[in-house]
Amino acid sequence: MNNRSSKLSIGMALCFETILIYTAIVNVAFRQWKNLSLAMLAVVCLISPFIVTRIANQRNILLPSGFQTIALVFIFFAQFLGEIKNFYVVFWWWDLFLHAIFGSYAVIIALYLIKGIFEKRQEITEQRFRLFAVIVAFSVAIALGTLWEMFEFVGDYLFKTNMVKGGLEDTSMDLLAKIAAAFCTAIFYYFHGSKHKKR
């Protein structure tokens, strides 16, 4: 099992990196420090699909075909077009569009992970199954937390309740707290289970 970097994804990465580096140079010339930091962040983020692919190959995990290409396009659309070129302001639907793409592709990635683990049951190790269980549990916790935030929003919008007291800040802090707690619990479960297995 090997996830390969296609010529298309490598070419796209080089093209996007060139655009971003040029943008960063222009931002330095015009002293646009906010856009400079956004451009440099995007430069770093564009490397992440290749890092994920390398880790997946080391762990013998199959990724969806076109993973790198879609990830590169998403990062470029979100950070360069969205933030630097203000597509979030120019097009009211841009943020919803990107969130929809993320939600859809996240399901595809999850299905590939499940398929890769359960298709060859005889090859499943205890450690690999525990890692899978932790990932699924963490994802479910985030999903349920997000659904609750949507419940609060819909309640406030339709029935004029006051569950979302601090607006965006309240929702963001709630989600961050849930994600942090879910992550810590998942990590504890993974290493606690590994410790018991060794005994």
Q: What is the DSSP string of 21-39?
A: HHHHHHHHHTT-HHHHHHH
Query: Is residue 152's pLDDT more than 60?
Result: yes
74: DSSP letter: H
Tell me the mean pLDDT in the region 170-187. Answer: 86
Query: Is residue 60's pLDDT more than 90?
Result: no
134: DSSP letter: H
Query: Is residue 149's pLDDT more than 90?
Result: no
Nearest Cα to 101, choosing from 89, 109, 113, 90? 109
Q: Which of left, alpha, beta for 167 (phi over 0: left; psi -120 to 50: alpha)?
A: left
Tell me the pLDDT of the chain averaged across its residues.
Answer: 84
User: Higher model confidence: residue 48 or residue 59?
Assistant: 48
- Percent pLDDT > 90 in the chain is 26
pLDDT tier, 153 (very low <50, low <70, confident <90, very high otherwise): confident
Per-residue confidence (pLDDT) for residue 139, from 0 to 100: 87
Query: Is residue 114's pLDDT more than 80?
Result: no
Per-residue confidence (pLDDT) for residue 34, from 0 to 100: 86
Structure tokens given for 170: 């309240």
Tell me the mean pLDDT in the region 42-61. Answer: 88
